[in-house]
Each structure stands twice: as C-alpha cells, then as structure tokens.
Chains A and B, each alone.
Chain A
Amino acid sequence: MTSLNDTTQLERQLSSLFRAEAEQAHLPLGTWQAINPRMGEPNAPSVLWRLSNAISFPRWRNPMKVKYAAPAATVLLAAIAAVLFILLVNDEDEGPVPAATPTPELQTPSPRPTFTPPPATSTPEPTATVVPTATAVPTATPLPATKSFPVALQLNSEPLAEEQVVEQWTDYLGDTEVVGNNQFNTVLTLCQDGTGRIRNVGGPSAEMTWSVAKSGQSWNQVTVQVLIPGQDPTDPPDRFAWRLEHGADGLDVEEYDPVAIVDVSGERCTA
C-alpha cells in the first residue's frame, strides 16, 4: 500500500491522479456554438451596454445587431423618458388650468375687465362664491381688479349713514358687470347712470334699470334691485335682488351667488 505521509510520494500520487482524471475529460462539443454568438459583443462593455443587459435586452443572434441595436434602443428609451420628464415639469410650472373660459361677452379687449379688489389697507380680498354651472359662465377664477373697493364700505371702517352707504355702493357698482348665477346664469351690466342690461347665457337679453335699494342690516351690506321695463316695480323678481356684503373675508355675495364683479368702465356702458 502506498504511503502518503511522504510529501514527494504525495505529490507523485497527486500528479498521477490529475493525469488520470484529465485523460477522461474533453472539451464539450457544443462549446464553439455556445461562445460564437457572444463573440460579437463589444470589447469594452459601455455603460449603455451594461444598462441594456441589466434590463434584459434581448440578445440577437447577429452580433452586429447586438453591438449597435441594443445601445441605440437604450438611448431611444432614455430620450423618451427625458422628453416626458420635461413636459411634466413644464406642466407644473404653468399651474392649474382655469375651470371655465369666460363667455364671449366677457372677453373684452385690453385693459381686461377685472375683479374688484380690496383697498390697500390690509383688508382681505373680496371672496367670490364659486358656483358650478353647466354652461360657459365664468365660475372660479375672478378677473384681475382695477376698481378699488371703497374703504368706507369695509367691515373695519366706521359705519356710515344710509344715504352715504347707498351712494358709496352705487358709485362702486356703477360700470361693472356682475357675472354668473347658479340658477339663471345671468350677467348684469350695471352702468353708472342706472341703466344696464341683463343677459341670460345662451338666451335672450334685456335692457333694465338698477338701483341700490337698501343697504341691508349695516353699511357693509347692499341689495341691488333690478327692474326690467314693463314689469311691476312693486313686485320685482327675487332673482334681481342682489345682496352683497363686505365681511371679514372680503366682499361676499349671499344671494344668487354672483361670482365676480367686473369693472367695465368705458366699455360696455359708453355705447
């Protein structure tokens, strides 16, 4: 029996074992077929190549296709992703789209009709009640204001006598358009001279007169009465009785929810 305690003997036996084992081994026949399709891969794998491999990009049999098509497709995918990203960022910059576009009558030339602002005396801006409507009446976005709301009518001002209140409200509401109503979809043009026009969106319009009928419970409240010629003045329809109030949140509209008071000075009332 052979002893393996001797190093030389061990090495000799090991060498014999290796050769005996190697005699039986031959390179598998399919080796060339296995490596041949991969011989077209680029020598130095690029980042794109590794990326395309990482996302399991298919390996075509044609090595030239593998070499060029996979990176090209990866670049294409990256470009599409970049374009989508840029579009997304631009959308965010532009902000939300207005809920509705104004009616044709409201799309006046520059200067654009504006929503009445509060004065610069730190009172909050007038708040318009947003009313969802089925038609194209402007709803949510008040137009920029160019007509200052009278300081004397603000909630934090000294109360005025009723005559002064009527005068202030009349002066303020003159040459404006009261836009939108959730029930009638009307637009009222209130000219400074007390005349005006009432229009139903998608329907007929009529000449009318208007006045500040009363100031309500306090100086910061007002009711506008609208009269259409031929109608009984003692029984004005409720829908023409508009009450506005300047409260803690700014100008508020309690009845029929007009959503904007637009300054139309020199435009609709000059004809």
Chain B
Amino acid sequence: MAEDILTAQIEREAILRCQQGDQEAFRRVLDFHGDHLYRTALLITRDASRAEEAVQETLIRAWKKIRSFKAGTNLRAWLNRLLVNCISNLSSRKQLERAPEEAAFSVADTGAGPEQSALNAETAAMLQSALRTLSVEHRTVLVLRFFNDLSLPEIAESTGWRVGTVKSRLHRATAALRDAVAASPAGIARFSEEVSS
C-alpha cells in the first residue's frame, strides 16, 4: 500500500515534469508503463512488429498530448485509450482486422510457471488459433477485460465506447471465441470425446 502511494507520488511528479517538456521524465514514465503497453498491444494485434509500431505511435501521441492530461486521473487508463486508438487506426490503415497466421507467442515452449499450471499446451494452442480469427474490436475487449482486469466502465473509458456497447461486444467476443474454438479440429475432436463419454 505504501509502495503504491510512493509510486503514485513519483508518477505525479514525473507527469508534471513531462508537462514542462522534460523528456527524461517521460522516459521514466515509459520505463514504468512501457512493458504493460507493449503486452497489451501484442495480445490485441498478435504480431510483434505491429505491436511495436502501435506502442511507438502511442508514446509519441502521449508526449504530444501530455499537457492535456489531468493530474490525479489514471495514467494507465489514459495510455490504454491512446493505444486502443492507435491500434484501431493502424488496423484501418493496414488491414489488420485479422491477425497474422503465425503465432507471436509459443506458450507451450515456456517453462511451467504459475499461470501455465492451469493451462495446458493443447488448450493454449486452440485458444491462440481461435483468437486469430476474431476481429480487432473483439480481441481488444477480451484483452482489456481478461488481461488488464478492467471493469466495464473502465473498458468504456479506455476505448471510448459506451458501457452498453462494451457489454454487448464482450458478450459477442466471448461467443465468437467459443465458436472458433469449437470449429477448430482440436475442438471438434474434444467435443466428440465429451459426447461419447
């Protein structure tokens, strides 16, 4: 708790200095939030180079607009919103609606960490394959909800959508993901096993 307060205090000072044109202060903000932004971008785009491009564009915009940032509000949510806008622009510009065929990650190759214990390689591959078939909007709402752990109003704030829109998109995204999993060869085989048992 004390650490959070300290972090928040440091962040406020860094933002204030950024607003005065201090690029070094902005670099510290980048050090603090950069990884999270990149991970979010990577999970949405499913492509490392596109994620890097989106993050760079987001950071440039953040630097240009930092004076409009209101002190005391959530910087991560603000950055998230810029990122979602950048990805949306990139997707309309570069036809990123569908993620590339090659997976950006290979969960099965990693060591067995605490997160992986509940996720076997087969399920992971099936989900990754299904995620690539979803639209950018659906992947965005799933990532913000299940990776960033944002509430519906927070997702609405990050995306600029209405809460009702977020709710319906989340529902459709989940349904689309389930359909995509079921339509995959592994999903069909699994369904057959469940029926026969």
Contact A7-B118, Cβ < 8 Å, known A20-B110, A27-B35: no
State whether the Cβ of A2 lies closer than 8 Å to any Cβ in chain B.
yes
B127 and A14 within 8 A (CB): yes
Closest to B33 in A: A27
A-chain residues with CB within 8 Å of residue B38 when the two chains form the complex: 25-28, 31
State whether the Cβ of B69 lies closer than 8 Å to any Cβ in chain A.
no
State whether the Cβ of A38 lies closer than 8 Å to any Cβ in chain B.
yes
A35 and B35 within 8 A (CB): no
Render B28-48 as a binary contact track against A, CB cut-off 8 A, 1 for contact: 001000110111001100000
Closest to B145 in A: A11
A43 and B146 within 8 A (CB): no
Query: Of B113, B147, B178, which contacts A18 at CB under 8 A?
Result: B147
In chain B, residues 113-133, which have Cβ atoms closer than 8 Å to a Cβ of chain A? 113, 115-116, 118-120, 122-124, 126-128
B120 and A2 within 8 A (CB): yes
Contact A39-B60, Cβ < 8 Å, known A14-B127, A15-B146: yes
Complex Cα spacing A32 to B30, Å? 8
B-chain residues with CB within 8 Å of residue A26 when the two chains form the complex: 35, 38
The dominant DSSP class at the B interface is helix
Complex Cα spacing A84 to B170, Å? 60
Render A23-43 as a binary contact track against B, CB cut-off 8 A, 1 for contact: 111111001101110110101
B-chain residues with CB within 8 Å of residue A35 when the two chains form the complex: 56, 59-60, 63
Complex Cα spacing A92 to B170, Å? 68
B64 and A41 within 8 A (CB): yes
Q: How far is the CB of B114 from chain A (nearest CB, A)?
A: 9
- Point out which of B52, B55, B115, B174 has the most chain A C-beta atoms below 10 A from its C-beta: B115
Complex Cα spacing A16 to B55, Å? 23
A21 and B119 within 8 A (CB): no
A23 and B110 within 8 A (CB): yes
State whether the Cβ of B172 lies closer than 8 Å to any Cβ in chain A.
no
Q: How large is the interface on A (under 10, 10 to 19, 20 to 34, 35 or more residues)?
A: 20 to 34
Contact A24-B142, Cβ < 8 Å, known A1-B193, A17-B127, A18-B43: no
Contact A3-B59, Cβ < 8 Å, known A10-B178, A18-B43, A20-B113: no
A3 and B119 within 8 A (CB): no
The dominant DSSP class at the A interface is helix
Complex Cα spacing A167 to B193, Å? 129
A-chain residues with CB within 8 Å of residue B104 when the two chains form the complex: 21
B178 and A4 within 8 A (CB): yes
State whether the Cβ of B162 lies closer than 8 Å to any Cβ in chain A.
no
B119 and A20 within 8 A (CB): yes
B193 and A22 within 8 A (CB): no
B119 and A27 within 8 A (CB): no
Closest to B120 in A: A2
Query: Of B35, B51, B64, B118, which contacts A13 at CB under 8 A?
Result: B118
A18 and B187 within 8 A (CB): no
Closest to B103 in A: A21
Closest to B52 in A: A28
Closest to A10 in B: B178
A16 and B118 within 8 A (CB): yes
Closest to B67 in A: A43
B-chain residues with CB within 8 Å of residue A20 when the two chains form the complex: 105, 107, 110, 113, 115-116, 119, 124
Render B1-42 as a binary contact track against A, CB cut-off 8 A, 1 for contact: 000000000000000000000010011001000110111001
Complex Cα spacing A43 to B147, Å? 32
B-chain residues with CB within 8 Å of residue A32 when the two chains form the complex: 27, 30
B-chain residues with CB within 8 Å of residue A18 when the two chains form the complex: 43, 143, 146-147
State whether the Cβ of B156 lies closer than 8 Å to any Cβ in chain A.
no
B-chain residues with CB within 8 Å of residue A12 when the two chains form the complex: 118
State whether the Cβ of A50 lies closer than 8 Å to any Cβ in chain B.
no
A-B contact pairs, 21 of them (CB 8 A): A1-B193, A4-B127, A7-B178, A13-B118, A13-B123, A13-B127, A14-B177, A16-B115, A16-B118, A20-B110, A20-B124, A21-B43, A21-B104, A23-B113, A25-B38, A26-B38, A27-B37, A31-B30, A31-B55, A32-B30, A39-B26
